[in-house]
Structure 1
Amino acid sequence: MLSTNNNSGNQALKEENPDQSSVPQKSFVENYLYGKTKFCKHQHSCFKESLKTFVKLFLSGLGVKIGLGFLLGLLKTRNISKTVRNVISWDPVRFAAFVGLLPALFKIALCILRHYRNKDDKLNVLIAAIFCSFSALADNSDDRRKILIYYIFSRAFESFIEMVRSHEVAPVPSNWGLCLGIFCTNFLSYMIFFHGELVPKGLYRMGTTGVGFKGNEMKLIEVVYRGIGNKP
């Protein structure tokens, strides 16, 4: 009799507290679309947050690109119809797609890595940053791609120095920000003077005009530099 009561009591407990293994687990797709990981701090689901970021920045980038293009066009010419034709093209759309995809792809990759690796560390951030660089494929402007590369290079170098300083891997001078600025300035000057084809046209013109050199003079300097370098 006592055994029967115990069995019935255990059965009632099982009904009230079912085994967790019997509860159907959500798939990754369901969790991504309608939920978020325990590491995510955003308010909405991972999918909704990524989509919201893309739409918001896409519309902002499109508005800024079209607005600036229209204003600059009016300053150059009084022909409004010609200005409108020049502004309404695929270039603002590609630029806006790049602006929206850059952070959206980063968030997508970061949430996926958090789900599969079940941890939130700097490796996730590094992989997500590499993945989001594919957003540059949405923009067909070589100059904007080059600017992005230089920006990412400078920020990556800054992050590397900060990591060395915070982990005390090697001694870092107290004025390392000034040292970083000197290094990046010299690197950019080297690229302008000796690898101008890898520098955005506007940045190249700004660098050469600032020192008083013209295009032909820069080519002559390049020839002399190469000639000296080839001598034994």
Structure 2
Amino acid sequence: MTILSKPHDLQSCQKFHPWGKTCSSSASQIWIAVFLAGLKLYAPLFLVPALIFKRKSIQFLVQRTLPEILRSSVFLGTYAGVFSGAICLIRRIVGKDLKSMAAISGFFAGLLSILIEKKSRRSELALYCLNQAIEVVWKMAAARKLVPLFKNGEVLVYMIASSILLYFYQNEPDSLRSNMNGLLKFFIGKN
């Protein structure tokens, strides 16, 4: 992805997607590849808890869990496809590469893809995307020597995030979703 942040010759988008002849076919291919990867990711993520904790029937799994797996996979595919297509679209509209092209494309990809997910999951996904965006911005700033890059800095971030989560579990359990409370009770025990 670092190639996307460096200016290129504008004659063709082939440098961005050499496997496809057009921007739309390349974005479609990315959508399909990420959708299939999403199925592999989300199938165990949704099925295992449904089987272990809820112990529901096959009918429940087909009616409830399968649509959630498909919706989340479409979300991922849409994000990746729109991101790829938006980069090419911005290049054509503006007529040149922008340093912020990836950020603008990511914003529009996130905005459109988040509408696919259920409203109850949007805040969780927004927090996840915010975390990823902060990490990307920090690493970009560190690569440009604007901020220091800490060795094992992700451990510090994990500790801070865990302490915030456990603070809310201990002091304000109603502010967490019921499944998060249940998961923490399962692993940690009651307050």
Query: 2:3: which partner in 1?
Result: none
1:176 and 2:153 matched: yes
Distance change >3 Å, CA 94–CA 208, structure 1 → 2: same
CA distance in 1, matches of 2:92, 2:24: 13
CA distance in 1, matches of 2:169, 2:74: 29
Deviates more, 1:185-194 or 1:164-173: 185-194
CA distance in 2, matches of 1:137, 1:201: 23
Q: Give a deviation string over 1:105-127, Cα, whole Å, max 9, x none.
A: 11111111122233344400001
Gaps of 5+ in 1: 1-34, 215-232
Query: 1:118: which partner in 2?
Result: 95
1:165-204 equivalences under 5 Å are 165-190=142-167, 192=169, 199-204=176-181
Letter in 2 for 1:42: P
SS in 1 for 2:100: helix
Query: 1:136: which partner in 2?
Result: 114
CA distance in 1, matches of 2:50, 2:147: 52
1:212 and 2:150 matched: no
Query: 1:151: which partner in 2?
Result: 128
Give 1:49 shift: 0.9
Equivalent in 43, 48, 66 of residue 19 of structure 2: 43
CA distance in 2, matches of 1:118, 1:181: 41
CA distance in 2, matches of 1:60, 1:157: 24
Letter in 1 for 2:93: Y
Q: Give a deviation string over 1:72-106, Cα, whole Å, max 9, x none.
A: 767725x54x3465258744442332122110111
1:94 and 2:58 matched: no
Count of aligned residue pairs for this structure pair: 177
Is contact 1:69-1:87 (8 Å) kept?
Answer: no
Equivalent in 25, 31, 49 of residue 54 of structure 1: 31
Gaps of 5+ in 2: 1-10
Distance change >3 Å, CA 174–CA 116, structure 1 → 2: same
SS in 2 for 1:153: helix
CA distance in 1, matches of 2:75, 2:158: 27
Identity %: 19
Instruction: Tell me which of the two structures has the higher relative contact order, counting C-alpha pairs closer than 8 angstroms and 6 or more residues apart.
Output: 2
Q: TM-score, normalised by structure 2?
A: 0.68
Query: 2:5: which partner in 1?
Result: none
Is contact 1:37-1:115 (8 Å) kept?
Answer: no
Question: What is the RMSD computed on CA atoms of the aligned residues?
Answer: 3.6
CA distance in 1, matches of 2:135, 2:61: 41
